Amino acid sequence: MSADELPVPQEPADALAAVAALRRLADQLENAAVEQAMRAGWSWPQVAEALGVTRQAVHKKHAKRLISAGVTLRRRQ
């Protein structure tokens, strides 16, 4: 979907609330997607590059959670 096609709500309150909700949805999606990738054997640098963030950032945000969930992680490269 291009930016032109994205329906923009007429009410500012609705448009702003959509931004807040999309951020939360993106956080949820990131948690699920990173876990899925790591379970499938992706490395931290690969996941970081695919997300467009540094590998330190992705490691800091997700490593503890995945380790406590028992996901076998590839060594940090």
Partner 1 sequence: MSAIDHYINEVMEVGAGEARADGSAAVEAHHLLLGIAAHGDTAARTALATAGLDRAALRAALDREFEHSLNAVGVSPGALSLPSPAPDPDRRPGMGASVRLALERGFARVGRKRDLRPAHVLLGVLEAEVGTVPRALALAGVDRAELMTAVHRAADASPW
What's the min distance (Å) between Cβ of 49 and partner 1?
Answer: 20
The three-class DSSP label of residue 72 is: coil
**CB neighbours of residue 47 within 10 Å:** 21
Enumerate residues 5-64 that contact partner 1 by CB under 8 A.
6-9, 13-18, 20-22, 24-25, 27-29, 31-36, 64
Cα 60 to Cα 44: distance, rounded to the nearest angstrom: 11
User: What is the contact surface with partner 1 in residues (CB under 8 A)?
Assistant: 1, 6-9, 13-18, 20-22, 24-25, 27-29, 31-36, 64-66, 68-69, 71
